[in-house]
Amino acid sequence: MAEQPRLSADERDEIPTLLDELSGFFGADGWRNDSDLSLAQKEERARRLAELEDNPAIGVPWEEVRARLRQQLSP
């Protein structure tokens, strides 16, 4: 993983809140409201989903991503 940017203590303290906001950004089914997406974004999402279906090992569950970020960014 690339080196993380240097964050101030206040910025690091804000990370858990931002991660929770991000996870709440998606609906109960894990999808953003399609009306928020441009055609290009919808096409990119479809491309990435097809890639994930072809190779499920490339995916990482959100819970794991969030846990890794919290661990890496905690003081």
**Does residue 6 contact residue 74 with C-beta atoms inside 8 Å?**
no
Please enumerate in sequence order all residues whose Cβ is within 8 A of that of 4, keeping only pairs 6 or more positions apart, or say none.
72, 73
CA 16 to chain centre: 13
Q: What is the pLDDT of residue 53?
A: 92
CA distance 42 to 17: 27
Helix axes 9-24, 62-73, angle to 10 degrees: 170
Instruction: Give the pLDDT confidence of 21-69 residue by residue, as tens digits.
Output: 776 666 655 666 677 778 998 899 889 889 999 999 998 888 888 888 8
